[in-house]
Amino acid sequence: MYFGGGADATAYPSAFSKSDKFTSNPNGDAPSVTASRNASDKTLYDSPADQDCQKNYIVYLTDGLPTQDNEANSRIEALPDFSGITGSTKCDGTESNGKCTDDLAKWLHEADLRADRPVVQNVTSFWIGFGDDVASGTAFLEKVAQRGGGKYYSAADTAELTEAFTEIISKILEQTTTFTSPTVAVNAFNRTQNLNYLYMSVFKPASSYRWLGNIKKYRVTQDGEIRDVNDNAAVDPNNGFFENGSQSYWSDMWPTAPTPRWAARRVN
């Protein structure tokens, strides 16, 4: 509900009126910090997934298997298109506690959490088991991470925990791409006119000083439309991203995703 910017006290009362897990007595916990609420409607979360091309992640650190974690099962099973995404109307976990954990991770990864924004807004989750008691839950956490589109890590001490966080950050950076502003060449003989080619540089963020990247070249028509080397529309009008299959003038292959390996040019 947080990433989707939803959940109110009427539909999801457990999010606003918590009880002690073991005694079932109200404990008076506040539902969340004020900063997590929508400024214009405090019954709604302020979704952090508010950019069209934004990547969203959860890194979950745990010391073992879930305990007494069943209060939200029915609400998880009632999430939009839950059965279509998970393949079942009910959570399929065999655990007595936390049986919906892997189903929720899969739903977060494949559902569109912000239908009001262009492109699918989802969440990839990474899981870290920390401590000596986590071994018994390895298979469970590996399944949750796999269904959530991420990976599970086991850490027995602070050194391994640091290594796990470092690798997760590196993987997140590998899944993001940095664009610069497009450039249209100027006519060298008449500075008041532009040429009909557009150039776009694309970089892949990394933890090192050197970022791999490439330069893409497309043609701009008199109507301002961007065309690829095969004279096909290069940009999807529905979301403003390059079309899957659009081919730069400097690429020998048909791209299927915006990654630096597309182009023949590498920028150091």
Q: From the CB of residue 32, how many other CB atoms can be counted at a distance below 10 Å? A: 13
Nearest to 102 by CA among 122, 73, 131, 133: 73
Return the bridge partners of 242, or none: 235
Q: Distance between CA atoms of 12 and 9, rounded to whole angstroms?
A: 5
* Cβ neighbours of residue 138 closer than 8 Å, sequence gap 6 or more: 129, 152, 154
Domain match, 32 and 57 both: no
- Could you tell me the two tokens for 122? 């989802």
Residue 198 and residue 183 in contact, taking contact as beta carbons nearer than 8 Å: yes
For residue 135, give its domain range. Answer: 50-174
C-alpha angle 33/39/44, rounded to 5°? 70
Q: Distance between CA atoms of 6 and 2, rounded to whole angstroms?
A: 6
Domain match, 207 and 112 both: no
Looking at the structure of the chain, the number of domains it has is 3
Domain match, 67 and 34 both: no
pTM: 0.61
Q: Distance between CA atoms of 217 and 264, rounded to whole angstroms?
A: 11
Question: Of the residues 111, 144, 174, which one is the last residue of a structural domain?
Answer: 174
Q: Which amino acid is at 35?
A: A
Question: Of the residues 153, 174, 195, which one is the last residue of a structural domain?
Answer: 174
Q: Is 125 helix (H, G, I), strand (E, B) or coil?
A: strand
Domain match, 32 and 93 both: no
Residue 49 and residue 113 in contact, taking contact as beta carbons nearer than 8 Å: yes
Q: Please identify which residue in the block is written with the tokens 């999801």.
A: 12
Domain match, 79 and 193 both: no
**Largest separation between any pair of C-alpha atoms in the chain:** 82
Question: Of the residues 112, 139, 174, which one is the last residue of a structural domain?
Answer: 174
pLDDT along the chain (268 residues), means of 10: 52 42 46 72 76 82 83 88 92 83 93 80 92 86 94 93 90 66 63 72 70 83 88 78 80 50 34
Residue 109 and residue 175 in contact, taking contact as beta carbons nearer than 8 Å: no
Instruction: State the DSSP string of 171-216.
Output: HHHHT--EE---EEEEPSS-TT-EEEEEEEEEE---SSS---EEEE
